[in-house]
């Protein structure tokens, strides 16, 4: 259960509170129960160190020396060793992905934000269900269904979790299996017909399906190609090395990160890019609810090979809905 538990960042603001007060609040907020006093003492020590690290980091943020800040999350009583390998690694089979090349336009837009223009629905909360692959793929599908078919409907992540038996339900999965499932199934149910339940269950598909796919397209693994594709196509499904998100609370992440395909372990929906105070960023939607990060979104340093953001970019190419009249 501790794997894939809910991420829930709370920004540390009330400075008058002692560490002990924060500890009590932490235990209440995240319903923490420890087996015995020794275990609680051990966890409190870890929390103290974490708390101090967050305070020091956020003081640097306040002084303008960092571009992102951290928060207490439900993982704040875990050691570095325990949080390493927190997310399952993502291994896509890309053999039937069709590579696409995107020309750099004469006027590259300074910023892109598809949130208001492409049926990007608010961040879901995966809870204890490690299914970031599903939220990322349905997000890309929802965007294309809107941009190609003018249909704005939230689609079923749970259908991918329950029905795609090549993935591991709530124990991880990947985009390639998800796209293959969508192609075979002829699209996905709406979220309303097949809502998210935070745990795996029996597959129970209803007949009404949306967003039938022709094939999966992939984008050349550079940030320039990713930028061009995003601007032209709409929201893109990506995977990153994401262990650092466990204490991210806002801003543009510029900390250390691995940029290797075999380390990708968290999928997200890339919805934009921009620049703030001279720092370029990618804008992504997470799957940890709207109270995490920046209302469910997070930002990552752009044009710096961060976290492998460009290494597994993909989007679904849809079968356009035929007009019946």
Ligand X SMILES: *[C@@H]1O[C@H](CO)[C@@H](O)[C@H](O)[C@H]1NC(C)=O
Positions in the binding site for ligand X (CB under 6 A) = 67, 88, 91-93, 150, 166-168, 172-174, 176-177, 251-252, 276-277, 279
Q: Residue 67 or 228: which CB sits closer to ligand X?
A: 67
User: What is the C-alpha separation between 113 and 301, in angstroms, rounded?
Assistant: 16
Using CB atoms, what's the residue nearest to ligand X? 93
- 250: which DSSP letter? E
State in angstroms the smallest separation of the CB of 18 from ligand X: 27
Q: Residue 18 or 64: which CB sits closer to ligand X?
A: 64
Q: Residue 101 or 150: which CB sits closer to ligand X?
A: 150
Q: Residue 73 or 176: which CB sits closer to ligand X?
A: 176
Among residues 137, 132, 136, 109, the alpha carbon closest in space to that of 272 is found at 109
Rounded (10°) CA dihedral 275, 123, 119, 151: 160
Q: Residue 259 or 279: which CB sits closer to ligand X?
A: 279
State in angstroms the smallest separation of the CB of 64 from ligand X: 6
State in angstroms the smallest separation of the CB of 196 from ligand X: 19
State in angstroms the smallest separation of the CB of 276 from ligand X: 4
| Contact predicate 190/155, CB 8 Å | yes
User: What is the C-alpha separation between 104 and 318, in angstroms, rounded?
Assistant: 24
State in angstroms the smallest separation of the CB of 92 from ligand X: 6
Q: Residue 228 or 272: which CB sits closer to ligand X?
A: 272
Residue 249: phi and psi, rounded to 5, are -130, -10
In a 10 Å sphere around its CB, with 0-12 CB exposed, 13-18 middle and 19+ buried, how is residue 149 labelled? middle
State in angstroms the smallest separation of the CB of 293 from ligand X: 13
C-alpha distances out from residue 269 to 15, 40, 233, Å: 35, 37, 13
Tokens for 182? 């969508």
Distance from CA of residue 226 to its chain's centroid?
Answer: 17
State in angstroms the smallest separation of the CB of 67 from ligand X: 4
Q: Residue 44 or 68: which CB sits closer to ligand X?
A: 68
Among residues 214, 213, 219, 216, the alpha carbon closest in space to that of 231 is found at 219
Residues 146, 150, 152, 155: is their CA dihedral positive or negative?
Answer: negative
């Amino acid at each position: 259960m501790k794997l894939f538990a809910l991420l829930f960042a709370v920004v540390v603001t009330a400075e008058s509170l002692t560490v002990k007060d924060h500890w009590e609040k932490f235990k209440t907020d995240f319903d923490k129960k420890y087996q015995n006093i020794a275990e609680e003492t051990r966890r409190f020590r870890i929390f103290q160190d974490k708390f101090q690290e967050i305070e020091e980091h956020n003081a640097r943020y306040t002084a303008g020396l960092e571009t992102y800040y951290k928060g207490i999350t439900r993982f704040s009583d875990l050691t570095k060793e325990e949080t390493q390998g927190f997310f399952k690694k993502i291994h896509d089979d890309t053999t039937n992905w069709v590579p696409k090349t995107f020309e750099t336009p004469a006027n590259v837009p300074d910023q892109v934000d598809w949130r208001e223009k492409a049926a990007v629905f608010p961040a879901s909360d995966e809870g204890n269900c490690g299914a970031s692959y599903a939220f990322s793929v349905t997000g890309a599908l929802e965007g294309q269904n809107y941009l190609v078919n003018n249909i704005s409907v939230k689609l079923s992540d749970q259908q991918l979790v329950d029905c795609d038996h090549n993935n591991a339900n709530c124990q991880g999965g990947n985009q390639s299996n998800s796209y293959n499932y969508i192609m075979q199934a002829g699209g996905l149910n709406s979220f309303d017909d097949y809502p998210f339940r935070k745990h795996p269950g029996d597959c129970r598909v209803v007949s009404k399906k949306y967003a039938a796919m022709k094939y999966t397209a992939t984008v050349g693994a550079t940030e320039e190609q990713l930028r061009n594709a995003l601007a032209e196509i709409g929201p893109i499904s990506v995977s990153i090395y994401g262990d650092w998100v466990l204490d991210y609370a806002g801003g543009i992440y510029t900390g250390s990160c691995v940029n290797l395909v075999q380390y990708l372990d968290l999928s997200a929906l890339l919805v934009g890019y921009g620049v703030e105070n001279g720092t370029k960023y990618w804008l992504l939607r997470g799957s940890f609810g709207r109270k995490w990060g920046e209302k469910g979104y997070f930002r990552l340093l752009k044009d710096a090979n961060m976290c492998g953001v460009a290494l597994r970019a993909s989007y679904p190419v849809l079968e356009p809905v035929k007009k019946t009249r």
